[in-house]
Structure 1
């Protein structure tokens, strides 16, 4: 069986300016973690408060929709967590 030719390529080295730009973009925003945790805790507290008070708090007029509101806060926390790097 004949041996195939070996191709020689020059190694790729990215420009120096690209390295600085990517280092800056990889830093996390300082507001993401506190907002994410706050939304998780508000949602959890909303649901726990609804169950502990047997539906009287946080908003009695929403009845069982209070659970949806609590999970909405938690879902918003997950949405914010996508911004964390």
Structure 2
């Protein structure tokens, strides 16, 4: 029957009331034999979240500025296409968000 990796058995207590030191030493040597696996949480994609949030904020700010200034800012020549530009920044933020792990 395979050994359980989840639950460990308690050390046996001998008749004198002391723990069996031989089993304790065996347990520590088993731990030394096992290799620890390092998990890399960074994965080199630290730029994704700040860029995504920046694109969302720029797109929202673009649309808000357009409405508040009644179409004279951010680019007067674009007219109502400024809304499309703002939503373009927001859509780019969603595209970048697919790279987030």
Measure, in 2, the Cα distance between the counterparts of 1:56 and 1:37.
Answer: 26
Counterpart of 2:53 (choices 23, 37, 42) is: 37
Q: Which residue of 1 aligns with 2:73?
A: 57
Measure, in 1, the Cα distance between the counterparts of 2:47 and 2:73.
Answer: 30
Give the 4+ runs in structure 1 shifted more than 6 A: none
Larger RCO: 1 or 2 (CA < 8 Å, sep 6+): 1
Aligned length: 65
Shift of 1:24: 4.9
Measure, in 2, the Cα distance between the counterparts of 1:40 and 1:25.
Answer: 25
Which deviates more, 27-36 or 39-48? 27-36
Structure 2: tracts of 5 or more residues without a match: 1-36
Superposed CA offset, 1:24-78 (max 9, x none): 5984610000000000000000000000000000000000000000000000000
Work out which of the two has the higher radius of gyration on C-alpha atoms and give 1 or 2.
Answer: 2
How big is the alpha-carbon RMSD for the aligned residues of Structure 1 and Structure 2?
Answer: 1.9
Answer yes or no: is the 8 Å Cα contact 1:28–1:84 preserved in 2: no
Bigger fraction of residues in helix: 1
